A and B are shown apart, each in its own frame.
Chain A
Amino acid sequence: MSDARRLSWQPLIQFVLVANAVLVLAPMLIMGLSAFKTTREIFQNPFGWPAVWRLENFSRVWVEARFALYFRNSVIVTAAAILIILALGAMAGYALGRFRFKGNDLLYLYFLSGLMLPIRLGIIPLFILMRDLRLLDTLWSLILIYAASGLPSAVFILTGFFRTLPTDLDSAARIDGAGEWLIFRRVMLPLVRPALVIVLIYNVIPIWNDFFFPLVFIQSDRLKTLPLGMTAFFGQYYTDWAVLFAGLTLAALPVITLYVLLSQHFIRGLTAGAVKG
């Protein structure tokens, strides 16, 4: 009986789900299609296919609007910050998860406090600190703040993983006379690779997308990351909608491509913390 009822609900359920999928996908499809049109075409025929699939909007964005440069900056900042988060987070997580020492719990809680601290509220002292360190208007200002704000989640996730590994592993290696670095690097680190992937995804998207810190720290156009570069670009081409849509499409493309390839990892990584297990 319950099966029969479930079956009868199916069309309605599908209708709601399809409607929502259209609501999600249609704006992105229109964005992508508009990128191939001329501005006049966008105004006259916003919903249809482009009359001719022209690529000139993209080349203008890439070269004229300096997107290549913004891309490079975003890649450098994101990659460097993630590397620091993974390296320092794994080292700290290893020490906190595998060694008993005075202050272990306290230090762990200290890192955890960073999960709740709204660091943006410290932007005025951060600005002054970066100025005093002569890091304002450098990519380092971004790399360091992203690395620092990514550490709490990394320490939290990795400490938990290191704790679950059996004790015999490092004891055996230690009895065999392996040095601490070797134990960490060759024995323990390979075992927490799944946790490193979670830390990576949890941090990489927010860092890649961040707009706030570049807005405050970066002045020079040649140092702008993609989200900040987009605001300059939108101010400059605000009447040229074809170029604007091409810019939006190009900016969205890397993340969408990665997401399509690795969607399950993304969903798990980005909801880590809100979803157990």
Chain B
Amino acid sequence: MAQPLAPAGLPARPLRPSRLSLRAGRRLWLLFFLGPATLLFALFMTYPILSALAFSFYGWEGIGRRGFVGLANFVRLFATFPYSQLLANAFWHNVLVFILTMLVQNITALGLALLLARGPWGTKVYRVIFFLPVTLSLVIVGFLWALFLNPIFGIVNKLLAEIGAAALGRAWLGDPQTALIALILVNAWRWVGFPTIVFLAGINAVPDEYLEAARIDGAGEWQTIRHVIFPLLAPAVTIIVLLTFIGSFNWFELPYVMQGVAGPPNRATDVLSLFFYRLAFGEVDTGLQDIGIGSAIAVLMFVLLVAVSAVAAVLLRRREVEMA
């Protein structure tokens, strides 16, 4: 059954006397090559995901599984205090993270990419510098900026004082008005190089003849960007929107490191992953744990992420076909 891939149309390999044992041998080799990877992937990726889906339909006492309860966990999540309030609050924050990241980080990235695509002096160095924070651990980035944003000793407020705007200084991370926005900006500082590189690659892939043709037709700078570059950038934009969405709805490290698992002040930085984590492994102060409801949240997040990824994949394929 197993045979080396051959270009279509080539004659089949001639039968040899040892064909049968050859087949058995090939099958053993396939097992040897594929078995370990498949086993590892099935045990530590597929099985946990599928179990997580199943867990949401069971009752739980601590970490012990009890009987099948149908949709009871989902009903409790959506209809009982404080779960429904916490869910809505955390979900709204994830939405905000997504929208503001799109507006601040990705539009900045697009601007930077358009500038870099003109090949100004030092383009290569700028590329390397802009991408640098992407390689840094979010734990380092989070702690660094937590020190910078410290209301008394942090450099952000000191800088504001130095330029005569001390009145603007505040406890950025302690104020419910600014805490989430501060985290989003820190996150953008870390990530902005990534979409910049992706957009830049997309712009550089636009064939020179197209730009030349636009120029000959008398198109101005903005018209060229608007009517030639943007439409051809659609696949890159789709990928960045998708990755931003996935990142925003999996947001965990930065709020955890900078603010803690409870999403302070007063849940102003609570997001779905933190809420999920607290339910799964217990609230720090109360020790309250509810794996049933936690699993229900995991299922909701799973469905959301898979649905959006699937839509993006379809869009991506359609746009690529249009371009071809």
Question: How close is B25's CB to chain A, nearest CB, in angstroms?
Answer: 8
- In contact, B30 and A149 (Cβ under 8 angstroms): no
Contact with B along A94-132 (1 / 0, CB 8 A): 111111111000010011001011111111111111000
Q: Are A6 and B135 in contact (CB under 8 A)?
A: no
The answer, yes or no, to whether B295 is at the interface (CB within 8 Å) is yes
Of B66-74, B98-106, B142-150, B165-173, the one contacting chain A is B142-150
- Residues from chain B with a CB closer than 8 A to the CB of A244 are 143, 147
Which among B45, B48, B301, B302 has the greatest number of chain A C-beta atoms within 10 A?
B48
A259 within 8 A of B: yes
Residue of B nearest to A46 (CB): B155
User: Which residues of B39-72 are within 8 A (CB) of A?
Assistant: 40-41, 43-49, 51-52, 55, 63
Decide: B41 and A152 in contact? CB cutoff 8 A: yes
**Pairwise interchain contact B52-A114, C-beta atoms closer than 8 A:** no
- Asked if A88 is at the interface of the complex by the 8 Å CB criterion, the answer is yes
Alpha-carbon gap, A234 to B146, bound state (A): 11
Q: Which of A20, A95, A171, A230 contacts B30 (CB 8 A)?
A: A95
Q: Which residues of B contact A276 (CB under 8 A)?
A: 201, 205
Find chain A residues with CB under 8 A from B127 CB. 267
Tell me the minimal C-beta distance from A192 to chain B in angstroms: 14
Size category, A interface: 35 or more
A178 sits at the interface (CB 8 A): no
Provide the bound-state CA to CA distance between A46 and B154, in Å: 8
Contact across chains for A180 and B29 when beta carbons are under 8 A apart: yes
Indicate if the CB atoms of B40 and A151 lie closer than 8 Å: yes
How far, in angstroms, from A120 to B215 measured CA to CA in the complex? 49
Stretch from A49-57, A58-66, A207-215 that touches the partner: A207-215
Complex partner residue of A209 from B48, B122, B137, CB under 8 angstroms? B137
In Å, the complex CA distance between A209 and B136 comes to: 7
Tell whether, in the assembled complex, residue B63 and residue A14 are in contact, meaning their CB atoms are under 8 Å apart. no
Contact A256 B153 (CB under 8 A): no
In the complex, what's the smallest C-beta–C-beta distance from A73 to chain B, in angstroms?
14
The A-contacting residues of B in range 274-300, CB under 8 angstroms, are 276-277, 280-281, 291, 294-295, 298
B131–A31 contact, CB under 8 A? no
CA of A9 to CA of B118, assembled, Å: 10
CB atoms of A88 and B1 under 8 A apart: no
The CA of A215 and the CA of B76, in the complex, are separated in Å by 28
Chain B residues with Cβ below 8 Å from A5 are: 221
Rounded to whole Å, the gap between the CB of B85 and the closest CB of chain A is: 22
Known contacts: A24-B129, A167-B4, A244-B147. The answer to whether A120 contacts B250 by CB under 8 A is: yes
Q: Of B6, B140, B301, which contacts A248 at CB under 8 A?
A: B140
A4 at the interface (CB under 8 A from B): no
Q: Would you call A2 an interface residue if the criterion is a C-beta within 8 Å of the partner chain's C-beta atoms?
A: yes
- Candidates A21, A31, A101; contact of B129 at CB < 8 Å: A21
Tell me the number of A-to-B contacts counted with CB atoms below 8 Å.
266
Majority DSSP secondary structure for residues of B touching A? helix
A244 to B257, CA, bound (A): 14
Q: How far is B32's CA from A184's CA once the two chains are assembled, in angstroms?
A: 12
Question: Across the two chains, which residue of chain A brings its CB closest to B186?
Answer: A27
B139 near A: Cβ within 8 Å? yes
Cβ–Cβ contact A92 & B252, under 8 A: no
Binds A, one of B86-94, B175-183, B239-247, B262-270: B239-247
- Contact partners of B229 in chain A: CB under 8 A: none
Given the complex, which residues of B lie within 8 Å of A83, measured CB to CB?
none
B45 pairs with A149, CB closer than 8 A = yes
B214 CB to nearest chain A CB (Å)? 11
For B246, the chain A residues whose CB sits under 8 A away are 118
Which chain B positions have C-beta within 8 A of A43?
Answer: 153
Q: Is the CB of B40 within 8 A of A144?
A: yes
Given that A101-B30, A256-B135 are contacting pairs, would A117 and B49 also be in contact in the complex, using a CB cutoff of 8 Å?
A: yes
Whether A21 lies near B130 (C-beta < 8 A) is yes
**B197 and A267 contacting across the interface, CB-CB below 8 Å:** yes
How far apart are A277's CB and chain B's nearest CB, in angstroms?
8
Give chain A nearest CB distance to B210 CB in angstroms. 15
* Residues of B contacting A208 in the complex (Cβ-Cβ under 8 angstroms): 137
Are A259 and B63 in contact (CB-based, < 8 A)?
A: no
Q: Which residues of B contact A116 (CB under 8 A)?
A: 305-306, 309
Given A46-B158, A124-B294, A267-B197: A184 in contact with B137 (beta carbons within 8 A): no
Q: Which residues of B contact A (CB under 8 A)?
A: 1-7, 25-26, 29-30, 32-34, 36-38, 40-41, 43-49, 51-52, 55, 63, 111-112, 115-116, 118, 120-122, 126-140, 143-145, 147-148, 153, 155, 158, 189, 193-194, 197-198, 201-202, 205, 215, 221, 236, 239-240, 243, 246, 250, 252-253, 256-257, 273, 276-277, 280-281, 291, 294-295, 298, 301-302, 305-306, 309
Question: Can you list 9 A-B contacts with CB-CB less than 8 angstroms, sorted by A residue number?
Answer: A27-B144, A30-B155, A88-B40, A92-B34, A129-B48, A151-B40, A171-B4, A271-B194, A274-B236
